[in-house]
Structure 1
């Protein structure tokens, strides 16, 4: 077991801070839309944010643990270092930490369940079960190639709609449709990861969408996800005739061009690691601009 790094630093690394934008962005969008509707409820918004972040951290811990057990994370891994595989945290400690984080997420969500009732209870149970199913078990989502769909649903319409619902105690199709933006960009982050790791995943029999359909299709899907996400505000305006300023999110679309070009032209997995952070920043920027524009 390596001991050269302070324990807090190791756990921060295991939490994968660059991925947390995928948890924060939909809560921001749902809260901004509740604010515009006159239904802002700060305590509910805060609890939703805490629960979302903790569930994401729990997913990351669980992924770190199970990919080590299944042999997907090896010394040949080219992505960011995984603490269990690197010997910085022993497997049982990581397993306990995963359970603990999910337990705290449930505690943070108890108020939301009290306020929102059975729909929030259902969302909470489904979110945690999906998080555990992501890499756990013989037929896990990530290993069957079904993770992309679940990431879209739970980091998109479910997260945005749920955040809005615990504040307004109702939800509209516009809110759920707006959630497609963060959902598509969260899928784009996953695609970067899977395109980078396609050879290692294939060898480990991890049948991601990219492994099943090929690297080129994965790159096309990445570009389509970005394009569709930035088109969401325009579609909302075209259909409803309201909130034209939400289209300010589209000014960030040119920032997506370079990541697409790099992903298409670069086959060296190590050179793709920066695209994870770049795509995550696009997600957060989209959420910020959309949220501001929606309230103008």
Structure 2
């Protein structure tokens, strides 16, 4: 017991639970709801709160189950902050993950029951299927370098449009356009998580984008994709699809510069570049938060 509460272990547990990463679950719901509010000036608080809690629980399932699946391939043998390694109890982590999934889906079912409409639960089940295919057997598509694509669709077009639909029970091109912004910003986080573990990925046969590209080229690709969300935002404003207030997202540019400079300088130094995913989380959090706020502040 003393060991569990020692300072180094506290740091490992925090690294394993990854609290900052849960903004990945929150922001698609926030942006989809903000787009709906901009158009209808109606906000269904119970639906939003339930969807938010469910999204966090479903992401917890994905994180926990990924730790379990990674423990089976041996890729996490040097990952001291893996929950399976910390607890030495794979069955417990798997059970906790499935419990989170069940509770999360119950919340989405509640929304479907309130609205007498199964559309949202259908979309979220598809998100869960993509989440499982990322690391789960026999698919393990993340090992083929397809994780970022799955991430883009699950947390972008699917999650954002589901959140929009949960508020309006209708479809809209603006929410789909907004979902591209969120999807790219989310995929950056996963892309950044590969830079520091190239050797472990190669040893486990994981062909992550950074394994395929190399760290130097990967750093350049990261710069282009990080930079893309800002002109994309501007383009949709100029086309009249987004309100001008969404340009508030540009306030997050300092985090984007910090991320790109940090990775370009340290891409081949695992101990220095390992924190880049948390800078990417800051880019994602602030850009999406301010982007959604822009919709909320618009006149509808």
Q: Which runs of structure 2 are paired with 1:33-44 in the superposition (5 Å)?
A: 33-37=35-39, 38-44=41-47
- Cα 1:177–1:202 shift into 2, 3 Å: same
Deviations 1:124-169 (A, max 9, x none): 2112222222211133121111111110111112111110111011
1: CA distance, partners of 2:109 / 2:211: 39
- Cα 1:242–1:67 shift into 2, 3 Å: closer
Aligned equivalent of 2:34: 32
2: CA distance, partners of 1:3 / 1:94: 22
Aligned equivalent of 2:177: 177
Aligned equivalent of 1:281: 282
After the TM superposition, list the runs of 4 or more consecutive aligned residues in structure 1 that deviate by more than 3 angstroms: 9-15
- Cα 1:71–1:3 shift into 2, 3 Å: farther
TM-score (structure 1 length as normaliser): 0.91
Deviations 1:166-197 (A, max 9, x none): 10111211111111122111111111111221
2: CA distance, partners of 1:33 / 1:289: 12
Alignment pair present for 1:220 and 2:223: no
- Cα 1:50–1:242 shift into 2, 3 Å: closer
Aligned equivalent of 1:186: 186
Q: Which runs of structure 2 are paired with 1:224-239 in the superposition (5 Å)?
A: 224-239=224-239
- Cα 1:161–1:109 shift into 2, 3 Å: same
The size of the alignment, in residue pairs, is 291
2: CA distance, partners of 1:112 / 1:295: 22
2: CA distance, partners of 1:268 / 1:205: 21
Identify which range, 131-140 or 171-180, moves more after superposition: 131-140
Unaligned stretches of 5+ residues in structure 1: none
Deviation, 1:242, is 5.4
Aligned equivalent of 1:106: 105
- RMSD over equivalenced CA pairs, Å: 2.2
- Cα 1:73–1:116 shift into 2, 3 Å: farther
